[in-house]
Amino acid sequence: AHRGILNRILWMQDTFRLTTSDVVLQKTPASFDVSVWEFLWPTAVGAKLVLAKPGGHRDPVYLAQLIQDRGVTVTHFVPSMLRVFLQDPVSRGCTGLRNVFCSGEALTADLVDAFHAALGGVPLHNLYGPTEASVDVTAWPCAPDMTSVPIGKPVWNTGTYVLDARLSRVPVGVTGELFLAGIQLARGYLGRPGLTAERFVADPFGPPGSRMYRT
């Protein structure tokens, strides 16, 4: 829904503060949800948008040269591509980056360490969100020497619950299922009312009529 992606963009701007001097690299294929904020965030605030060539997101040398040549300050990687990117020495020259975001796969602690070893003080952020929400619903800043990388805390107007089979909150340290709630949830699955009813259930912690998604 439009209000979901608007919430997501407004949260990102308040948290990371793009300015007109920033340059955002748009390299995610438009069929993937990350491309939505790559397109909309910079254009919403007057920052510059640099478009990678088709297929360029798979070429670490091309990306590193583009980042350096065009003065890119903000970019996104899926963790597997970030690992390939960091393995090429040319990535060490991308010191003009101001924020790097990761999502789409689990981000491991060893990759976080490799990133900080290669790019020094550039901030790295782990984002999480399923297709059933407007891109990302949680975020975590990644420091060196972490033993594991959390998915983070919820963004604006979003709830995250770890629940048992009876939809009761579990104590800290106890395994449960992650449920998501809030403004960024999808309406459901197009043409699949049964699956929608199974995965989008009533939210007992929210106002009447609110729903949550079982991940």
The residue ranges of every structural domain in the chain are: 2-154, 158-214
Residues 215 and 205: their CA atoms lie apart, in Å, by: 17
Fold of 2-154: Rossmann fold (3.40.50)
Q: What is the pLDDT of residue 62?
A: 96
What's the CATH number for 158-214? 2.30.38.10
Q: Are 24 and 72 in contact (CB under 8 A)?
A: yes
pLDDT tens, N- to C-terminus, the chain (215 residues) = 789 999 999 999 999 999 999 999 999 999 999 999 999 999 999 999 999 999 999 999 999 999 999 999 999 999 999 999 999 999 999 999 999 999 999 999 999 999 999 998 899 999 999 999 999 999 999 999 999 999 999 999 999 999 999 999 999 999 999 999 999 999 999 999 999 999 999 999 999 999 999 99
**DSSP, res 82:** H
- Write out the E strands in 94-143: 99-102, 124-128, 138-141
Q: Which of 177, 211, 181 is closest to 197 using CA atoms?
A: 211
Q: What is the pLDDT of residue 120?
A: 87
Q: What is the pLDDT of residue 95?
A: 94
Residues 35 and 26: their CA atoms lie apart, in Å, by: 7
- Write out the E strands in the chain: 23-26, 48-51, 74-77, 99-102, 124-128, 138-141, 153-154, 158-163, 177-182, 200-202, 211-214
Q: What is the pLDDT of residue 11?
A: 97
What's the predicted TM-score (pTM) here?
Answer: 0.94
Residue 40 token pair: 């909309």
